[in-house]
Amino acid sequence: MVGIDPGHNGGNAGAPEVINEPVWNGRSQSPCNTTGTATDDGYPETDFTWAVATKLAADLRESGAKVVMTRDSNDGVGPCIDKRAKIINDAKADVAIDIHADGAAASERGYSLLIPVPSGTNDEVVEPSRRYAQMLRTEMRKTGMPLASYLGEGGFVERDDLAGLNLTTVPQVLLETGNMRNAEDARLLKSDRFQARTAAAIKRAMAAYLRSR
């Protein structure tokens, strides 16, 4: 079983009363969800995450894998970040991916991998998540997107404020696939070809991790 969490949702912007409601992120309170970022010409992060997620799900199912996704459309609201973690945990996924794109300064480029630190709930999967992240970093190098130099060390960023990483009971990584505010990254992120390459890279990393267990 594979878990896929496409960040945000297309209807979030129209429901501030829902997405601003505080929920438990495993350490403290955070908003239920957010709207995500967008390219300078208005291509939204939620469209990108949905495109990659659906490509990845189709590829995995074609290979015979079972897939659970945290949302089933790109025009809804939520689910909240704690509910997304519960969906993947309850499915007893063997590995999971949280797909996002960053909204950093326009001068910055590249992908980064957000990895968990022990929270109590996730303690048993922190080390497996980090091994999986190393495999994903290797596979993402083949997509044409450079490794980010503006976040973390070697593209890895430890985060203790994200529900998906704090509440997970399965190996999971949050992929910031590129910077939507950078013109070169945006060109790739909007490209169907790059989206397919990203889905393929995630699939290969998942397969490599599962073989290594």
User: Which amino acids are annotated catalytic?
Assistant: 176
> Six-digit token pair at 18?
């829902």
| DSSP category for residue 48 | H
68 C-beta neighbours (distance < 10 Å), count: 18
- How far apart CA 178 and CA 186 sit, in angstroms, is 8
**DSSP-derived pairing of the beta strands 172-179 and 95-102:** parallel
Q: Is 142 left (phi over 0), alpha (psi -120 to 50) or beta?
A: alpha
**DSSP-derived pairing of the beta strands 22-24 and 29-31:** antiparallel
Q: What is the 3-state secondary structure (H, E, C) of 164-179?
A: HHHCCCCCEEEEEEEE
What stretch of H or E contains 157? strand 156-159
What stretch of H or E contains 94? none
| DSSP category for residue 160 | S
